[in-house]
Amino acid sequence: PPLSEILNLHDFESIARQVMSEKAWAYYSSAADDEITMRENHAAYHRIWFRPRILRNVTKVDWSTKILGHKTSMPVYITATALGKLGHPDGELNLTRAAAKHGVIQMIPTLASCSFDEIIDGAQPGQVQFLQLYVNKDREITKKIVQHAEERGIKGLFITVDAPQLGRREKDMRMKFEDEDPSVVSETGSKDVDRSQGAARAISSFIDPGLCWDDLKWFKSITKMPLILKGVQCWEDALEAYDQGLAGVVLSNHGGRQIDFSRSGVEVLAEVTKHLGEERGLKFPNEKFQLFVDGGVRRATDVLKAIALGATAVGVGRPFLYAFSSYGVDGVDKALQILHDEFEMNLRLLGAPTLKDVVPSMVDASSLSNH
Ligand code: FNR
């Protein structure tokens, strides 16, 4: 169908399922085990309700904000998702180009199909990009990646901490990753891969399961980029990250692709703001220690719920993959335009002229277990 018939982010998924290769669909759409967490990621937003305010002047509404001090046109960033060329020959560049057009921030994955430099070179001058890092057992490789990223102007390092081993994504494992086109994986950091168990396992054997809290000092010694942990799933670890002086955490379960039965990011968000408030007197959103959430975000209303609960911004993954797999860069462009339109309308209907007006009392989150 023509792009003009696409009305929301869910639509991209149903179209992608029809047009994508079986292998790409299996890799993008799969999640761990019984996929309970993946379903819960979106379902958790269904337990949060709005308490809109009336009779406020909403002639002009503004949903722009800052992430780690950098301007963004909306409180959404494009999160890191590996293997862009499985879905489209231009891979991650589809995201880079649409991000430039809309003034949003792209997080570049370690396991991008395009090379890191290709993605940086594909950006507009001044375009802000972050890097998602899988830490290699060989720290010299990791050091090179990090320092090169800093030299090339990356503004934040998101270290993935929820994947000491890749989860079992059975849909993907049923597909052998004997790819005819090795260019789908640019830098795996490993050559002797097991290609018999799906794309995810084939590309991830270099990741260091020995990574631990003590290693963060080393990261601070090799880079001045802000460090953020991606994949925090309880308040105790968020507190530890704060105490270690990190710039923030992403409350995420990797799109349900790691341990099944981990909770939705937005559920964890309510727990984290409560306990870090009690333990350290922190208020959120907080500029010095920023909370991000990802997983299952498909509507601006989902984003606004997370903002009300204290998130600085929210990451979106699969919808952009499905958008470029079906329509290339125009699909991502359309997905971002849909979000913009949804922000405008929903801020008006909420009675919130800016994101600062989206406060905790604008949601009824009493059905979340930790609120
Ligand atoms: C991911 N995600 C991910 N995360 C990460 O830190 N490094 C990676 O290489 C990848 N790769 C990846 C591939 C694919 C196909 C998916 C769907 C996801 C996780 C991603 O950053 C994010 O946490 C989730 O995708 C968010 O959930 P939604 O928006 O996809 O529901």
Q: What is the pLDDT of residues 209-254, one digit of tens each?
A: 999 999 999 999 999 999 999 999 999 999 999 999 999 999 999 9
- The alpha carbon of 109 and the centre of ligand 1 are apart by a number of angstroms equal to 9
Mutate to test the pocket of ligand 1, among 12, 30, 172, 254 (most ligand atoms within 8 A of CB): 254
Mutate to test the pocket of ligand 1, among 30, 81, 204, 228 (most ligand atoms within 8 A of CB): 81
- The alpha carbon of 295 and the centre of ligand 1 are apart by a number of angstroms equal to 8
Active site residue 162: yes
Kindly indicate whether the ipTM for this predicted assembly is greater than 0.85, answering yes or no.
yes
Judged against a pLDDT cut of 90, whether residue 178 lies above it is answered with no
Confidence of residue 193 (pLDDT cuts 50, 70, 90): low
Ligand 1 cavity residues, CB under 6 Å: 27-28, 41, 79-82, 109, 111, 132, 160, 230, 252, 254-255, 257, 294-297, 315-318, 321
**Position in ligand 1 atom list of the atom nearest CA 29:** 17
Return the HEC string of the chain: CCHHHCCCHHHHHHHHHHHCCHHHHHHHHCCCCCCHHHHHHHHHHHHCEECCCCCCCCCCCECCEEECCEEECCCEEECCCCCHHHCCCCCCHHHHHHHHHHCCCEEECCCCCCCHHHHHHCCCCCCCEEEEECCECCHHHHHHHHHHHHHCCCCCEEEECCCCCCCCCHHHHCCCCCCCCHHHCCCCCCCCCCCCCHHHHHHCCCECCCCCCCHHHHHHHHCCCCEEEEEECCHHHHHHHHHCCCCEEEECCHHHCCCCCCCCHHHHHHHHHHHHHHHHCCCCCCCCCEEEEECCCCCHHHHHHHHHCCCCEEEECHHHHHHHHHHCHHHHHHHHHHHHHHHHHHHHHHCCCEHHHCCHHHEECCCCCCC
**pTM of the full predicted structure?**
0.96
Active site residue 322: no
